[in-house]
Structures are given as C-alpha cells and as structure tokens.
C-alpha cells in the first residue's frame, strides 16, 4: 500500500514539473519573440532612417540646383516637396512631411543663417523630412505612438573662389554683368549676383573678344559684336607677370578678394603668346600650357578646339580709374574658366595672312577676317566664359561664398553640415 502511494506521489510530482517547464518555455518563447521583434524593428528603423537621410540629401541637392537656375523662383518649396515625396521613399512608403528652408552658408560658422527666397545671400537649401508611421512594426501592434523621426540635409551652391593655377589675366566684371542684364552699364563695379549667374548659365558659352591691355585707338565695331573691352594683365604679389603666366603662379595663387595692380608688359602680345604655348622643353613650368598648338591664331589643346584656362574677373578699386589702366589696383571678384579660342600673334607685315581666327562653330560676334588681319590689335584674345566645373586644367580648387554675397560662373553643389566648423 505504501509502495502504491509512493508511486502515485512520484507521478504527480513529474506532472507538476512538466507543467512548470511548459510555463517556463512559454515565457521564454514570449521573451525571445519579443526580443526578435525588437531586433527586427531596430534593424528596420536603422534602414528607414538611412533612407530618410538619403531622401533629405537628394531633396536638398535638388533644391540647390533649383536656386542655381532661378534663385527668385516662388515655386521652389512646392518643387522640392514634390520631388521628395515622389522620388524618395523610406521603407517602401513616401516621406510624410517636408520642410524646405532658404539658407545662407559660409565657411565661417557664425555667418550661417536662414534667409529668404530671392535674397542676394541665398546660396543654400535646407530640407527636413519626416516619416510619421510605418517604421516600427512592434509599436503598431502594441498601438504605441512612436515619435516621428526627422532627418535634415543642407546643400550649398559653392563658388569656385581660387585655384593654384590661375593666370594673372582679368576680364571686366562690368562687361560680364552687362551680358546678363543689358540694362546694367559696362562700368558696373560689384560682384555677380546669383540671378545674373542663373541668367548666363543656360547660354553655356558666353563669347568675348578682348583687346589687349594698353591697346590704343580701339575701334570697337572692328572687334565684332562680342567685344568685351580689354583684358588686364595683373602684377602678382610675388614674382613677375611673365613667371606668373608661365608657372600658374602656384606659389602665390590668385583668389577672390585679392587686390593687385595692373601692369602693361613691354610686349604684352609677344609675352602672352609665348605663355599660351608649351615652353622650350615641351611644357610650361608645371605642364599646364593653355594651347598645345596655335594654328594661325586658333588655339588647340591636345587636338581639341579651345584651351581652358583659369582667369580672374574684377574691376578697379578706384572709381576714377579705367579698367586695365596701368598701375591701378584691381579687385578679384570671381575666379572661373575661360576657354581661349584665338589669340592674335604678332606677325611681320608680309605674313599677316597667317592671322586667321575662324574657330569652328563660332562665327556670330567675331571680327571679320579682314578686321582680324588689319584692324584688331596684336594680343587680342577670343574665347568664351565656361560655366561647367573645370575638368581639363589642373590645380587645387578653393570653394567659398566669394566676395560678400557674390555668385560665380563655376559652382559645385555640396552637402554640408551647418553645425560643424
């Protein structure tokens, strides 16, 4: 009897242990499933936040492209919002809320600020995006309201403000402004406005016929309708004009904000023509000849028409001084690319037939063949302002806001963090 009771007690004890084990297994599975769901949700959240940041980055770059083309547009907010919601998704769904802010960015932290659409200092766009639902599945199952995460990006329309390979040649800023807005006189002395840069940019190639510095009795109609005044020869702070044009003046690179006097080299046409071409060893001092060949007067660079060169744009600091006036200080307001198409080389009278400027694809606005041979001064330069970021000439580029709130002919869209120095 006692033996039977003992066996019954053992059976009950085993059943109790089985029940307790089942409870532990259920609890463990619940915890495990919860942890698994949490791990999946955190991975999903990480992915979603990255996708949101990508959406903010892309939308900010899109906004910067819009202000580069038309800074005064009143549709930028709507355009960026549509772009963000239509082309950028987070975890398979569109972002819900998009905030677009006009911004002014500078390399100096305390000068960064929100601004207004169309303002002269507008040079960046800040975009914030939110996804209010769908990031955490567990929160949805538990009906828990999860704070909507926000991701922000700022895209800066950065100006090229300097380069280690800038020739000491300057184009009159007033002439460039006049091309953008003919109501502005060619004597205008200020920086290029963002709206003016946006006006010129679609043209792509703004042609200029530039008389040499010191040219006398310039008969403007003989230079064609693209006449852009004279080009100025700057005196570098270190070294000579000739060494600067032959070596890019890399040791004392020219940049926006520099103020330099203008010189008139004794033989500007001859010295400049020699600097355009490779030197005696087949290269300029740093291998950056503007043209590898001047066929008659047409510049060719490695078999391609036109030689790109980094030049400056500016004006005299003294209102009483004429542009390119010898000895007058000139302020560099912009550094950009100029593609040299023709340069009139000095020729003996019996070889003037070699003076020909007939670049393929560029006919309107040029001097006639007869004027180029007989009436245009030696040292006249023909070329166009290039608005594409430089690809074919070397140098370490500087980026910045330029002089004050000025724009530039060459820019790059860059994602920046306004909170970082």
H or E element in which residue 286 lies? none
Tell me the pTM: 0.73
Q: Which H or E element spans position 384?
A: strand 381-386
For residue 350, pLDDT beyond 80: no
What pLDDT is attached to residue 330? Answer: 93
Spatial distance between the Cα atoms of 303 and 297, rounded to a whole number of angstroms: 15
Q: What angle do CA 292, 267, 206 make, to 5 degrees?
A: 55
In whole angstroms, give the CA distance from residue 298 to residue 340.
9
Stretch 394-407: mean pLDDT:
57
Contacts from 42-51 at CB under 8 Å and sequence distance 24+?
44/91, 44/135, 44/136, 44/137, 45/135, 45/136, 45/149, 47/91, 48/90, 48/91, 48/131, 48/134, 48/135, 48/149, 49/135, 49/149, 49/151, 51/88, 51/89, 51/90, 51/91
DSSP 255: B
Task: Give the pLDDT band (50/70/90) at residue 331.
Answer: very high
3-state secondary structure of 157: strand
CA dist 124 and 401 (Å) reads: 10
Specify the pLDDT at position 411: 78
How large is the average pLDDT for residues 17-44? Answer: 62
pLDDT digits (tens, 9 = 90+) for 180-215: 999 999 999 988 888 888 888 877 788 999 998 877
Once rounded to an integer, what is the mean pLDDT over residues 256-274? 72
More confident residue, 228 or 164: 228
Q: Where are the domains of the chain?
A: 2-161, 165-395
Q: What is the dihedral of CA 35, 39, 45, 48, to 10 degrees?
A: -140
Asked if 357 and 297 count as a contact pair (C-beta separation under 8 A), the reply is: yes
With vertex at residue 304, the alpha carbon angle to CA 299 and CA 308, rounded to the nearest 5 degrees, is 60
Three-class secondary structure of residue 16 per DSSP: helix
pLDDT of residue 60: 92
> What pLDDT sits at residue 318?
92
Report the first-to-last Cα separation within the chain, whole angstroms: 90
Which of 24-38, 202-216, 263-277 has maximum average pLDDT?
202-216
The alpha carbon of residue 100 and the mean position of all alpha carbons in its chain are separated, in whole angstroms, by 21
Report which listed range, 181-195, 204-218, 235-249, 262-276, is most confident.
181-195
pLDDT in tens, 161-187: 766 678 888 999 999 999 999 999 999
Average pLDDT, the chain: 78
> What single DSSP character describes residue 224?
-
Highest mean pLDDT among 74-88, 175-189, 259-273: 175-189
- Comparing 363 with 226, the larger pLDDT belongs to 226
**What is the share, in percent, of the chain residues with pLDDT greater than 70?**
71
Region 146-155: mean pLDDT is: 81
Give the residue-averaged pLDDT of 407-415.
78
Distances from the Cα of 85 to the Cα of 89, 95, 126, 214, angstroms:
7, 6, 16, 58
């Amino acid at each position: 009897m006692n033996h039977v009771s003992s066996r019954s007690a053992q059976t009950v004890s085993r059943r109790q242990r089985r029940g307790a084990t089942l409870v532990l297994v259920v609890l463990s599975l619940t915890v495990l499933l919860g942890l698994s769901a949490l791990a999946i949700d955190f991975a999903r959240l990480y992915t979603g936040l990255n996708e949101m940041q990508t959406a903010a980055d892309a939308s900010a770059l899109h906004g910067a492209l819009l202000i580069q083309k038309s800074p005064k547009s009143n549709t930028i907010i709507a355009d960026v919002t549509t772009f963000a919601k239509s082309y950028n998704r987070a975890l398979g769904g569109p972002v819900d809320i998009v905030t677009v802010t006009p911004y002014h960015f500078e390399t100096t932290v305390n000068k960064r600020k929100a601004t207004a659409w169309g303002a002269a200092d507008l040079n960046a766009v800040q975009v914030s995006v939110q996804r209010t639902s769908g990031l955490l599945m567990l929160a949805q199952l538990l009906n828990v309201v999860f704070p909507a995460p926000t991701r922000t990006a700022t895209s800066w329309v950065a100006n090229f403000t300097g380069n280690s390979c800038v020739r000491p040649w300057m184009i009159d800023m007033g002439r460039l402004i006049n091309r953008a807005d003919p109501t502005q006189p060619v004597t205008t002395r200020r920086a290029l406005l963002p709206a003016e840069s946006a006006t010129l940019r679609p043209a792509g190639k703004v042609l200029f016929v530039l008389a040499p510095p010191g040219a006398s009795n310039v008969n403007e109609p003989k230079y064609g309708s693209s006449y852009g005044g004279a080009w100025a020869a700057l005196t570098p702070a270190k070294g000579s004009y000739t060494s600067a044009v032959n070596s890019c003046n890399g040791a004392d690179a020219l940049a926006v904000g520099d103020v330099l006097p203008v010189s008139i080299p004794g033989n500007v046409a001859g010295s400049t023509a020699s600097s355009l071409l490779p030197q005696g060893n087949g290269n300029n001092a740093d291998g950056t000849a503007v043209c590898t060949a001047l066929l008659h007067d047409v510049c060719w660079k490695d078999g391609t028409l036109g030689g790109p060169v980094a030049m400056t744009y500016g004006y005299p600091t003294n209102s009483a001084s004429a542009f390119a006036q010898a000895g007058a200080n000139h302020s560099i307001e912009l550094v950009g690319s100029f593609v040299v198409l023709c340069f009139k080389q000095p020729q003996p009278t019996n070889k003037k037939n070699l003076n020909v400027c007939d670049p393929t694809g560029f006919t309107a606005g040029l001097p006639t063949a007869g004027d180029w041979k007989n009436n245009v001064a030696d040292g006249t330069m023909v070329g166009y302002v290039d608005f594409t970021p430089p690809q074919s000439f070397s140098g370490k580029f500087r980026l910045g806001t330029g002089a004050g709130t000025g724009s530039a002919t060459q820019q790059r869209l860059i994602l920046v963090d306004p909170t970082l120095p």
